[in-house]
Amino acid sequence: MILTVFGATGGIGQEIVRQALAAGHRVTAVVRDPARFPVTGRGLEVLCSDLKDPRDLRPAVAGQDAVLSGLSPRRRSDAGITARLTRSVLAAMEAEGTRRLLVVSAAPLGTPPEHEPLLDRAMMSVVGTVLKPVYDDLRVMESELARSATDWTALRPPKLLDKPLTGEYRMAVGGNPRSARSIGRADVAHAMLSMTHDPATLEQGVGVAY
């Protein structure tokens, strides 16, 4: 496949690029600061952009099989950045006619499963309250996806961990797995790559967790 990755300097973004290159895909990594991007490899092209102007992004998305975004706020003070930058990505994709887009969202935006244990419901509620500005940002982003002309998927992981790739995790299309508490960034990247051609995930939020 021919892929573009936004947010490639982040933990999930770097994993997407590494795993895609290892699988033999051609990857364009769009970064704001090349000095923070340590990944190298055959089939990799690195483009520098602040993602503010959709016109600058059109060459990065033109003719691609899929676009994957690891864009996300790193802290509460970053709230608003994900929706704003994703809006630029969407505009560039729509201008070029590129359809497939997968993004990272968060578990608190998903529908709780039936018979979710009370403790897990309480934990999710607390997290959602403490990080409300961050999740409000992601809700706006998902609203932008729903209004777009893209074939989008929003992955909704719970707490993110720095763990080696396992390839073993649970997924729930349209909701969250039961007692979804954590998942490694490498496995989120793996899930995103595995869904690029999965029609069941189109225009859906997908919960992923161990």
- Residue ranges of domains in the chain: 2-209
Of 58, 49, 6, nearest to 29 by C-alpha is 6
Q: Answer left, alpha or beta for residue 174, where phi above 0 means left and psi between -120 and 50 means alpha.
A: left
Least confident range of 70-84, 120-134, 140-154, 171-185: 120-134
Are residues 73 and 137 in contact, defined by beta-carbon separation less than 8 angstroms?
A: yes
Decide: residue 177, CB within 10 A, 0-12 exposed, 13-18 middle, 19+ buried.
buried
CATH label, 2-209, candidates 3.60.15.10, 3.40.50.300, 3.40.50.720, 3.30.390.50:
3.40.50.720
Q: What is the pTM of this model?
A: 0.93
Task: Please tell me the distance from the alpha carbon of residue 184 to that of residue 187, in angstroms, as a whole number.
Answer: 5
Are residues 20 and 27 in contact, defined by beta-carbon separation less than 8 angstroms?
A: yes
pLDDT, tens digit, 9 for 90 and up, residues 161-202: 999 999 999 999 999 999 999 999 999 999 999 999 999 999
Decide: residue 128, CB within 10 A, 0-12 exposed, 13-18 middle, 19+ buried.
middle
Q: Quick one: pLDDT band at residue 76, thresholds 50, 70, 90?
A: low
Which SS3 state, helix, strand or coil, does residue 146 take?
helix
Task: Report pLDDT for 183.
Answer: 98
